[in-house]
Amino acid sequence: MNSADQDRLVAAFRRGAEDASAALSKWLGRPATLCVDRLDALPISAAAAVLGSGDEPICGCAMRIDGVVGGLLLLAAADAAGLSLADTLLERPVGTSIGWGDLERSAVVETANIVGCAYLNAICAALDPSETAGILPSPPLFLRDYPATVMEAALMEQPAPADTVLLARTEFRIDGTPVGCGLVFLPDAAGLTTSQSPAPGPRGRP
Amino acid sequence: MSDPLPPRTALLQGEAVEIGQIGVAVGGGVLRTFVGSCVGLVLHSRSQRAAALAHVMLPSSNGRGTPPGKYADTAVPETIRLLGEAAGEPGLACTAKLVGGAAMFAFQSGMPIGEQNLAALERILADLGIPITGRACGGGHGRRLAVDVVSGLVTIQTAGHGTEYLK
C-alpha cells in the first residue's frame, strides 16, 4: 500500500470515527468521541499484543463485517471500564455492576452494534462513493477473555492470515476523558484492495 | 528432579513464546504462551529434562514455511529438531501435549481453523510415532498455558473456565 492509499484510508477511518462519535453521544446521552489513535501495518506478533499481553481478562464484542470493507471489528475494554460503561448506559451509579450478567452484556453488545455500524457505514461511504455496495455486519458476539487470545482469534479470522496486519485503533472518550475502551478494526486485505478506487468526496457530510 | 513451580507462579514467569514462534529449554524453567484458535504444541523429553513449545497458527504452510512455528507441517519437525539440538541428542524420544484449537468467534463457515490445526498436528505426530499424552482443546475460550520444562507438567488457565493440568 502506498502513502496515497494510506492517506485515503486514514481519512476514511477518521470519517468513521466522527459518525461513531455522534452515535455514541446520542446513545449515552452525553458528549462522547472516538479518536482515531492509529492506523498501522504491524508484524503479526505486534498485532497480537495491541490489546495488551496482561493476565487480566478483558471484555468486549466482535463483529464480522462482509461487504466493500470486510474485516473484523472488536470493541474491547478493560473489565472495569466495560462494567462502568454498562452502568452509564443503564443509568446506574458507576460501580454498581460487579459482574457480567445478562443486562450488562446486553448493554455492551448494543453499544458495539450502534457504534460499530455507524463507524463502518461511514468508512464504507468514504471508500465507496458510488454506493453500489454496502456492508453486512454480523450480530455482535460478547466476549470476555485474555487480551492476547482475543486478538489472536481476531487475527485468525482473516481469510488468509499474513505476516503483516493492517489495523485501525480508536479510543472512546466520554466528557473528554479516556474511558479505557475502544475499537480495533482489522480490514481484510482483499477488501481494501477492492476499495482503493476513487477518492472519497464530501457526500453526506454535515 | 526439582519440584514443578506452583501453578500461579508458573503462569506468570518463564519465557513467553510469541505467536508463530517456538521456544525450547533444557534443565529447568518454564515456557508459556496464550492460545485461542492457535494450538500450543508441547514436546517433552523426561530423560533429558527438556521441553519445547510451538505456537501453531495454521494447519499447512503450502510451501511457505517461515516462520516454521507458524504452520503445523513445519512446526512439528522444527520443534523436534530444536529440542534434540538443545538436549544434545538429535532424534531423542519425546511425548506431545496439545492445548488450544478453540473456536472463539463462530463467524467462519466450514471446519473452524482451530479444529484444522488440531487435526493436522495429530496426523503429523501419529505419522512420526510421537504419542499425545495430554490434551486441553476446543471449546469457545482462550487459554494461557505454562510448561514446566523438567517435569513436563502443563498448567492451563482460562478466563472463567477454571484451571487444568496435563501431567
Residue ranges per structural domain of chain B:
7-166
**φ, ψ (nearest 5 deg) of residue A98:** -120, 0
Which of A149, A11, A147 shows the shortest CA–CA distance to A76? A147
Residue B12's pLDDT is 56
**Annotated catalytic sites of B, by residue?**
38
CB contact under 8 A, B159 and A144: yes
Q: Residue B20: closest CA among chain A residues belongs to which residue?
A: A45
The CATH code for residues B7-166 is 3.30.1330.200
Q: What kind and span of H or E run contains A3?
A: helix A3-28
For residue B82, the 8-state DSSP code is H
Burial classification of residue A151, based on how many CB atoms lie within 10 Å of its CB (0-12 exposed, 13-18 middle, 19 or more buried)? buried
Q: Residue B106: closest CA among chain A residues belongs to which residue?
A: A141
Contact criterion met (CB below 8 Å) for B153 and B165: yes
Res. B1 pLDDT band, cuts 50 70 90:
very low
Q: How far is B33 from chain A (nearest CA, A)?
A: 9
Q: How far is A49 from chain B (nearest CA, A)?
A: 10
Higher pLDDT, A131 or A11: A11
Q: What kind and span of H or E run contains B54?
A: strand B50-56
Higher pLDDT, B121 or A169: B121
Residue A134, pLDDT above cutoff 80: no
CB contact under 8 A, A44 and B102: no
Which residues in chain A have their CB less than 8 angstroms from residue B11's CB?
55
* Segment A18-29 mean pLDDT: 90
Which residues in chain A have their CB less than 8 angstroms from residue B102's CB?
149, 153
Domains of chain A: 3-194 (3.40.1550.10)
Contact criterion met (CB below 8 Å) for A49 and A151: yes
Mutate to test the interface with B, among A51, A138, A152 (most CBs of B within 10 A): A152
> Residue B109 to residues A65, A159, A186, B106, B113: CA-CA distances in angstroms?
14, 11, 19, 8, 10
Strand-pairing partners, residue B164, are B156
CB contact under 8 A, A149 and B34: yes
Q: How far is B70 from chain A (nearest CA, A)?
A: 10
Residue B63's pLDDT is 84
pLDDT in tens, B95-147: 999 999 999 987 777 889 999 999 999 999 999 999 999 999 999 999 999 99
Residue A202, pLDDT above cutoff 50: no
Strand-pairing partners, residue A63, are A73
Which residues in chain A have their CB less than 8 angstroms from residue B106's CB?
141
Q: How many CB pairs under 8 A join A and B?
A: 79
CB contact under 8 A, A44 and B20: yes
CB contact under 8 A, A55 and B11: yes
Which of A140, A145, A142, A169 shows the shortest CA–CA distance to A46? A169
Which of B159, B149, B38, B22 shows the shortest CA–CA distance to A54? B159
